[in-house]
Amino acid sequence: MIVMLDLVLRLALWLLLPPLLPGLINKVKAWVAGRRGPPVLQLYHDLARLWQKDVVLSNLASPGFVIAPAVAWVALVGAAMLLPLGPTGAAFGFRGDVLLLVYLLALARFATAWAALETGSAFGGMGAAREVSYAVLTEAALVAAVLSLSVQSGSITLATLLAPAAGAGAVLLAGGLFAVLLAENCRVPFDDPNTHLELTMIHEVMVLDHSGPPLAVILHGASLKLLLFSVLLTEAVLPLGRLPPFVAAAALAGGVLSVILGVGLVESLLARFAFRRVPLLLTTAFLLCLFSLLVAWNGGAA
């Protein structure tokens, strides 16, 4: 009974909290610009409205156009349930679960790109190509970060891998993972979620042909992915495993909030980079995670 209650509470947390994060980012951006901005709960209202609308389907689209967003959402929920929440551990933890986490994130990206190609839209294909090309470097940086934590902890289980502090390479790891978070969630300077010019879009142009409940699933999945990477970044850097349970939970919440505030400040102070500059930034993120791996390796050898 206790196990089922814990599972339900975790699932409710991962499903109900994510739409709050984009609202907080927009509030930070509005505050920096001296505006009032949209309500923090705006995405909740948008999702409720989309679930009440009909679906408009292209004659060229196969059933995969509707199935792919659901597959991506389920993959992201599965990845979130693998991630431990501070001292409470993970809902489904096992040896090597970090490998499944990486593959589930890749599956979600594949499904999103697949749905973007279904209608034969030139803009959808362009956005999918950009998304996949960026993923080559972001996944390399993510794997390097995972290897750094694995070398330091001597484990490939998320609950153990994220328990200790990141050590001397914490700053390097934080910088690399923060850049990965921005790229994976298509935020500035990699993409602008508020742009309306199709030629410069990545994620937004991939979902232009979606409507109704499938679009709601995509938007919720995007906010869930943002929360997932925020939790991963916080737990990879802060020594939550060495803190008392209540202090660790407060530190986790504060760390996620700090990451979200950081995203809002970056989007307020930076402009979107030109496409030719994006690979350099992603390569820098990979090098930061790689240097963190070298620091962990040398520290373990010492």
**Is residue 127 a contact partner of residue 115, using CB atoms and an 8 Å limit?**
no
Domain boundaries, the chain: 2-301
Residue 31's identity, in one-letter code, is W
What tokens appear for 30 in the block? Answer: 């509005």
Question: DSSP for 73-86?
Answer: HHHHHHHHHHS--G
pTM of the model: 0.96
Half-sphere exposure of 158 (CA within 13 A, CB side): 26
What tokens appear for 116 in the block? Answer: 């973007």
Residue 211's identity, in one-letter code, is S
pLDDT by residue for the chain (302 residues), tens only, comes to: 678 888 999 999 999 999 999 999 999 999 999 999 999 999 999 999 999 999 999 888 999 999 999 999 999 999 999 999 887 778 888 999 999 999 999 999 999 999 999 988 888 999 999 999 999 999 999 999 999 999 988 899 998 988 766 566 889 999 999 999 999 999 999 998 887 777 778 888 899 999 999 999 999 999 999 999 999 999 999 888 778 888 999 999 999 999 999 999 999 999 899 888 999 999 999 999 999 999 988 875 44
